[in-house]
Structure 1
Amino acid sequence: MRRLPYGPVRDGWRLTNYSLGLTYNDTELPDGTMESYWQEGPYYEFSQAEIEELETATATLYAMCMEAGDWMVQQCPRRTVEGRRQGYFAAVCTPSTCFLARIGIPEYAHEQIIRTWFDGDAETWTHYDKDPDMRLPMETPDFSPTVYGRFDLWYSGAGSTPRLLEFNAQTPTSLVEAAVIQWHWADQTNLTRHPWRQWNSIHDRLVGWEAGDGEPANPGAWRRNIDKLREARTRLPEKPKIFFAYETSERTGEDRMNVAYLMATAEEAGYPVELIAMSQIGWDVAGDRVLFVPGPGQESKAEPIDVIFMLYPWEWFWNEEGGKAFFRNMADPTKRGTVWIEPPYKAALLGNKALLPVLWKLFGDDPERGRYLLPAFFAESSKAATLTSYAKKPVWGREGGSVSLIRDGATLVENPSEYGADGRYVVQELCELPSFDGLEGTVHPVIGSWLIDGEPAGMGIREGLGVSGLVTRDSCNFVPHIIA
């Protein structure tokens, strides 16, 4: 792994990137100056062995996360039939008896977190029968599709071991630049003769590819997931319409374009699609249905939503007014409730920093798998006090918000934000990002390792400048890579 600071600069690269979907390239800095988010010129070069190491680490970490999710579910009293029989809104869980309650997830959401976690597992899945307060084993499990996720990894190249920094399991962005922009950059610059110019099969794994040269066809994440969903929900048409929702208050256009790209891959896979705003998701009080409402006063044109992808944090959704209705809809015993992609468990079990101390608890002593982890603990625990150099992270946080880095007891970097107001934090042993020479100073890269349908699929690299760049935040740049 090495950083090449003086790579080729393509003629008209800004317009090329814009035409491919990178409409949010220019970032305004605090002093009012504009900076290019995409770095044209510098790039990273990896050996095939290094790529294989990253791929192995990604697959191993995901398998560990699946075991960690099982452990978390086991800590919730509502996982048992007896607990659930006490009613949908019963006060069964407390922070002292339930892991989900301890990290701040409202109890009414626990059942659907657990249900979607076990979807597809015939031995453990339970559901409502005609009495909504009774759950009985069923022979035909439901299915909750999950399409993508991204691990953020520390890695400095050959001789080092990738280490997990966090898992962006529900709402990862930088997908357009990782899947599309850097792929075209590698093709246009022709920097390598390697048969695989990049570790980057993100697009193909989403859309699928046809059989050739004796290889079996890969249907892709969309077709594979929707086919499984239709097996569980036989009333759905062969090509159910998939809505794609984004939050319009995000003004740069990044959320919109990441959602639009995913929508384009679903359409390429053969499904009818529609791009909507989160504010256009409505509720049919009489029918207990989730609706797409085109606009104010257009309730007569409302359309039921069977399947929707939502780039919006579940931890916001379940704390907002009306959240209970959407979770009750998910529990429809006739399986007519809306199917949400990504499902609630992606945020509750995997997409928050509480995952880190759970992984360390389960695998920290494992010489093979534990090497991909850093010691991590809840901030209030006695073990946390033994660390003198650590990263302090809010359980519910994004884009480096409210992350502090402490080295030998002294604060190295702080990034104040609104996150962490609930006082829930974890600490993780400090592992400062690697340092490389850039044109404007020292840069610090973090590896974004992508998963498509649970399988390693490619890499994007973000890098920050100087000491403040040791915390990767929304102002950090994207830099492409090749395989040497």
Structure 2
Amino acid sequence: MKKIAIAERPDWKQTAENLGFLFHTIDGEPYWDERGYYQLTLAQVENDLEDPTQELHGMCMDLVDQVVRSEALLDRLGIPSAYYDLIRESWLQGHPHLYGRMDFSYNGTGPAKLLELNYDTPTSLYEAAAFQWGWLEECIARGMVPARADQFNNIDTRLHEAFAALHIKHPFYFASMKGSVEDKATTDYLRLIADKVGIESRHIDIEDIGLLEGRFVDLDDRWIPHLFKLHAWEFIFQEDFGAAIAASDTQFFEPAWKAILSNKGVLPLLWELHPGHPNLLAAHLDPDPCATVPKGWVRKPYFSREGANIQLHTEEGQLLEVDGPYNDAPYILQQLAPLPRYGDSYALVGSWVIGDQAAGIGIREDDSLITKDSSRFVPHLILD
């Protein structure tokens, strides 16, 4: 795995905006960054990323089956007891799911190490599935990269298959928080796929969802039969409408059982079930979150997002910390697997699971060992 410098396409910003990719630049800084690309071999992709993602996903599904049958484990994950039955029934009744993303530390030479699971509301979907594929096609057409170059990217195809398999006949609503350009882009992309497989789709802001006689409704009081929501279950569990979900007849995506896998408390559980697994890092509950993080370890809150409230202590003694709002839940300690450094940037590999299939990767960079909301998305290709 190596990073290769390359010229930007002179018209890439116009291309992005024509396609609705409006957050390619955030606060004047690049989010999409095609001044370079990551090059991997086919063996690295298949053996070190695709196969482990598939295996870890199976382990995660087995873990969910154990957790839903144990109130002690549900309690250990900080899930409110009022929602045990909702989560349990969503799993036992086989409520379908669409997607998830695993984040890995991987430098091309050893086993990829799982840093965390993003299985409820992962973003960076459009840029991974569609825009980086378009980048590759255009670069090949313009002679900027070899014609034999490929990409580990079946995300779009798998999403089409996943939506088609739902056999949905009623309107499917896609909801994001009002004013979030990135989240709206994610839901718009998924809506486009739903439309292509014959599902009627509608957008609604999460703040505009109402409750009428026990049913979730839109602004015209129309029933919402199917709802994809870019709003985390741990937030819903704290909101007034959360209590109405069990008795409503709305099908949720992602389903309630994803609350288990969007919780960093599962990382110690995975380690306890599979100690020494080459793709897992040692992890345990943090008995003293106020103590200094030991060298070679990382402290993470259960519900941290985009690096917030992460504390990291390198073996050399460097202590890094990111502020944030996620300080009201338990913490874990996870063995440090430092991200590889390329020039002045540290690279994180996000490996996508669509349905139950490993489907592709997206790579983000940060100037720090902790990947934050200011990270950059950099395309990749496969070339032997």
Question: Is the shorter-chain TM-score for this pair beyond 0.5, marking a shared fold?
Answer: yes
Matched with 1:273 is 201
4+ long deviations beyond 6 Å: none
| 2:66 equivalent to 1:71 | yes
Distance 1:324 1:410 in 2: 46
Identity %: 34
- 1:318 deviation in Å? 1.1
The one-letter amino acid of 2:46's match is E
Structure 1, gaps ≥5 residues long: 29-33, 77-97, 121-143, 208-219, 228-237, 294-300, 330-336
Matched with 1:244 is 174
Matched with 1:60 is 55
Distance 1:155 1:148 in 2: 21
Matched with 2:326 is 419
* TM-score, scaled to structure 2: 0.94
Matched with 1:477 is 376
Is contact 2:153–2:361 with CA below 8 Å preserved after alignment? yes
- 1:387 deviation in Å? 5.3
Is contact 2:293–2:299 with CA below 8 Å preserved after alignment? no
Matched with 1:223 is 164
Is contact 1:387–1:429 with CA below 8 Å preserved after alignment? no
Matched with 1:79 is none
Distance 1:67 1:385 in 2: 34
Distance 1:386 1:241 in 2: 49
| Greater mean deviation of Cα atoms: 238-247 or 354-363 | 238-247
Query: Where in structure 2 are the equivalents of 1:1-400 lying within 5 Å?
Result: 1-5=1-5, 7-28=6-27, 34-53=28-47, 54-76=49-71, 98-120=72-94, 144-157=95-108, 159-190=109-140, 191-194=145-148, 197-207=150-160, 220-224=161-165, 226-227=166-167, 239-250=169-180, 253-285=181-213, 288-293=214-219, 301-329=220-248, 337-347=249-259, 349-365=260-276, 370-380=277-287, 388-400=295-307
Distance 1:322 1:8 in 2: 49
Is contact 1:192–1:482 with CA below 8 Å preserved after alignment? no
Is contact 1:146–1:341 with CA below 8 Å preserved after alignment? yes
The one-letter amino acid of 1:114's match is R
String of CA shifts for 1:346-365, please: whole Å, max 9, x gaps. Answer: 12x11110110000000014
- 1:75 deviation in Å? 2.1
String of CA shifts for 1:68-127, please: whole Å, max 9, x gaps. Answer: 212222321xxxxxxxxxxxxxxxxxxxxx22223322111110101111223xxxxxxx
| Greater mean deviation of Cα atoms: 372-381 or 448-457 | 372-381
String of CA shifts for 1:315-351, please: whole Å, max 9, x gaps. Answer: 101101232112332xxxxxxx11000001112x111
The one-letter amino acid of 1:113's match is I
- 1:448 deviation in Å? 0.6
Distance 1:21 1:152 in 2: 26
- Superposed CA RMSD in Å reads 1.9
SS in 1 for 2:68: helix
Structure 1's 101 and 11: CA in aligned 2 closer, same or farther, altered over 3 A? same
| 2:360 equivalent to 1:449 | no
Is contact 1:243–1:276 with CA below 8 Å preserved after alignment? yes
- 1:193 deviation in Å? 2.7
Q: Which structure would you say has the larger RCO, counting Cα contacts within 8 Å and 6 or more residues apart?
A: 2
SS in 1 for 2:371: coil
Aligned residues: 377
Structure 1's 377 and 418: CA in aligned 2 closer, same or farther, altered over 3 A? same
